[in-house]
Amino acid sequence: MEKNALDTDIQYLPGVGPKRALLLRKELGAGTVGDLLKIYPFRYIDRSSIIPIKDAAPDMAYIQIRGKVSEINLFGSKGSISPEDLKFNTVKRMSVTVTDGTGYMEAVFFKGIKWMYSKLVPDEEYVFFGKPSVFKGRLNMVHPEVDKVRDQEKRQDGKSSINSSLTGVYTLTEKLRSSGITGKVMNRLMENALISALPDIEETLPEYLLIEKGLVPLQFAVRNIHFPKDQTALEKARYRLKFEELFYLQLSLLKQKYVRSRNENGIRMPKVGDAFRICYDSLPFSLTGAQKRVITEIRNDMKSGRQMNRLLQGDVGSGKTMVAVLTALIAVGNGYQACIMAPTEVLAQQHFKNISRYLDGTGVKAALLTGSSKTGERRDIHAGLEDGSIGIIVGTHALFEDNVVFRNLGLAIIDEQHRFGVEQRARLWRKSSCGMAPHILVMTATPIPRTLAMTLYGDLDVSVIDELPPGRKPVQTIAATEGKRPAMFRFLKDQISLGRQVFIVYPLIFESEKMDYKNLETGYEQIAGAFPFPPYKTAIVHGQQSNEEKKFNMDAFAAGRADILVATSVIEVGVDVPNASVMVIESAERFGLSQLHQLRGRVGRGSEKSYCILMTGNRLSRESKRRIQLMCATENGFELAEEDMKMRGPGNLEGTRQSGLPIELNIASLAKDGLILNDARQCAQSILKADPTLSLPRNRILAETVSQDKYKVRDYSQIS
């Protein structure tokens, strides 16, 4: 069988060789010709027009100048070097004067001087391509690309094997550039790759889909993404490649979901039970419409006979814990146990405290298991889980331990799911002793943009609590710089005199020589000086304290024994102190949007007016300024998450960094291509509705592609 050119080792591509191949593999992950062709340009430059030197300006992007070399001068560390004394190891700079009849330009070279000196001949005409700038009143280009006019004309006449008016610009690392793999070299390698492999590129979408969606063939798309015939061809190529990436991503996720939804081996929980009714009827408040809707969705999953795999998204303070309690009581009411997992001890303790309050009068026994649980407590908890007397267990990673055995685990609720590793969770799933995987409810207070949720959790059903409980007042967010600190301290004293409490959060624990930011150590001293004891009481919490120290200080603040809690962002998740009405975030520019929003969510939980003060440096980057402005403009976590993704890209979003995207996207962007993603998802849904196993002949290509290793997405939710 003849080998496909796409699978050829990249070292055999003309212009590469073993040394460059090693570099391309290491820096760009390109081991084969096919890998190289999947590295797409991130922008394009129009090489069809020539700019007269008199019209060139430093604010222009990359341009082309066509002119004659009138003079070449070489310079060493002691000044100019004459051709008679020429030794290239002493040359530091080469200056080339170029004229086109309208003016003069200087082309400057600091590297590759020997080669460029041999290439350039005075009075010969060349095309110089680069970024114009002005030095000492004269137009210049540093390290321009240089072509003989004959070579340029040959390319534009179409005598070159690949003709394009737009030149792709590829992402290159410093190592590649310093090893001679410049933008020009990259274009030449891509040209060679296309010449050798284009005929071997096989179509990856069925013909009916190409016709239905008006998509160009794959060969056309690959050729025109690298060397576009014109702008229209580029747009068609770009759309086709983006659609395909997003379509296969959704098809693989949805196929998993369809296969699972057809599987009837989930635990059937047909009733709600007495404990649920007692708890629901004794609530001192009414559930919001959103909470009721979500509980109905969960209830339908649990009685369906199929395993529930649901993601519950809710902004800070939206009432997810209440939904978790009622869901756990459905499991208990059907004779099963439920576990609620939290990523930190502080959050686990908070959940346990709230849940115990709601369980009062239901007769359901709950327990808390964390790393700091005492030996005697552990022994009792292990026994209670094994004999079934404990109906609900709240815990941290301690629940993963092998000696934790359930009588019949029927529901697992995971809070802030991205903080648990897949392997860790799988250990918990195996603890189900009733022969079937437990129902799963994944909760997150990190608002995830819809496009990202559809990708990260595309195989889960998604519920959103998009309504805050009545009585919650908006938090007023204010940005302030160092000059406003005295006024800020006065404001805090006024709030404390009214009986309120204050959070002050810092991004660093210890002084860093490289970072001139407020940090916890100096911050604590400053607060202690401005708010002396008595009458003020200040507690401190950070990641380097023992769990006992953290708990002692958190409890002191929660109970009202401390007026101020100075902390690092360990308090970001799950701290509930209704009396705290002010959140001060020091060096707010150091935090991401999602983190700032989570921190702000720690206040505004009581009935009093609450404030979030963002303290920043005087000089902020454009992005930092935008983040601070957005925080002051809106409290909507989903709006902030959308903006965050546009600014930082999906891979860097708070809460998604560890899990990453299921497959790597080479050209599509979740931040910018939401419409294409929606279209691709709907298309995948309609195909799977008609052919859930992709077994029809017309879907043969789809079945073969989805079965490839890269589409075997790690299933975040599946229990086995």
Tell me, what's the pLDDT at 658?
Answer: 33
Please tell me the least confidently modeled range out of 68-72, 577-581, 671-675.
671-675
Which helix (H) or strand (E) segment is 676 a member of? Answer: helix 674-690
Top-confidence residue, 541 or 278? 278
Q: Which candidate, 207, 163, 186, places its Cα nearest to that of 40?
A: 186
CATH number belonging to domain 1-44+165-201: 1.10.150
Q: Where are the beta strands (DSSP E) in 159-227?
A: 166-169
- Does the pLDDT at position 532 exceed 70? yes
Task: Report the alpha-carbon distance of residue 53 to residue 289 in Å, rounded.
Answer: 67
Q: Which candidate, 543, 546, 539, places its Cα nearest to that of 524?
A: 539
How would residue 158 be classed by pLDDT, with cut points 50, 70 and 90? very low
Contact 128, 106 (CB under 8 A): no
- Rounded to the nearest 5 percent, the helix, strand and coil shares of the chain are 45, 20, 40
Percent over 90 (pLDDT), the chain:
41
SS (H, E, C) 327-385: HHHHHHHCCCEEEEECCCHHHHHHHHHHHHHHHCCCCCCEEEECCCCCHHHHHHHHHHH
The CATH superfamily label for domain 274-303+319-444 reads P-loop containing nucleotide triphosphate hydrolases (3.40.50.300)
Contact 295, 314 (CB under 8 A): no
- Does the pLDDT at position 679 exceed 70? yes
SS (H, E, C) 228-284: CCCHHHHHHHHHHHHHHHHHHHHHHHHHHHHHHHCCCCCCCCCCCCHHHHHHHHCCC
Top-confidence residue, 694 or 658? 694
Task: Report the alpha-carbon distance of residue 320 to residue 340 in Å, rounded.
Answer: 12
Contact 567, 541 (CB under 8 A): yes
Q: DSSP state, 439? A: E
- Residues 6 or more apart in contact with residue 142 via CB below 8 angstroms: 108, 109, 110, 130, 131, 133
- Give the domain ranges of the chain: 1-44+165-201, 49-149, 274-303+319-444, 475-634
Tell me, what's the pLDDT at 659?
Answer: 40
Q: Which candidate, 244, 234, 239, 232, places its Cα nearest to that of 202?
A: 244
Task: Report the alpha-carbon distance of residue 335 to residue 326 in Å, rounded.
Answer: 15
Strand partners, 93: 75
- Does the pLDDT at position 106 exceed 80? yes
Rounded to two decimals, the pTM is: 0.62
Please tell me the least confidently modeled range out of 203-212, 270-279, 563-572.
563-572
Starting at the edge strand that comes first in sequence, how are the strands of the sheet with 501-505 ordered? 475-481, 610-616, 580-585, 501-505, 564-567, 538-541
Do the bridges between strand 580-585 and strand 63-76 make them parallel or antiparallel, or are there none, so unpaired?
unpaired
- Residues 6 or more apart in contact with residue 588 via CB below 8 angstroms: 479, 596, 614, 615, 616, 628, 631
Domains 49-149 and 475-634 share a fold: no
Task: Report the alpha-carbon distance of residue 68 to residue 122 in Å, rounded.
Answer: 7
Percent over 70 (pLDDT), the chain:
85
Task: Report the alpha-carbon distance of residue 11 to residue 22 in Å, rounded.
Answer: 8
Contact 414, 442 (CB under 8 A): yes
Task: Report the alpha-carbon distance of residue 538 to residue 564 in Å, rounded.
Answer: 5
Contact 41, 172 (CB under 8 A): no
Fold classification of 49-149 (topology level): OB fold (Dihydrolipoamide Acetyltransferase, E2P) (2.40.50)
Tell me, what's the pLDDT at 346?
Answer: 78
User: CATH number of 475-634: 3.30.450.20, 3.40.50.300, 3.40.50.12780, 3.90.700.10?
Assistant: 3.40.50.300
Report the mean per-residue pLDDT for the chain: 84
Q: DSSP state, 673? A: -
85 C-beta neighbours (distance < 10 Å), count? 10
Tell me, what's the pLDDT at 245?
Answer: 92
Tell me, what's the pLDDT at 513?
Answer: 46
Tell me, what's the pLDDT at 698?
Answer: 95
Tokens of 687: 């195909």
Contact 680, 247 (CB under 8 A): yes
Instruction: Tell me the pLDDT tens digit for each residue of 46-67.
Output: 777 889 999 998 888 788 899 9
Task: Report the alpha-carbon distance of residue 244 to residue 247 in Å, rounded.
Answer: 5
The residue length of the chain stands at 720
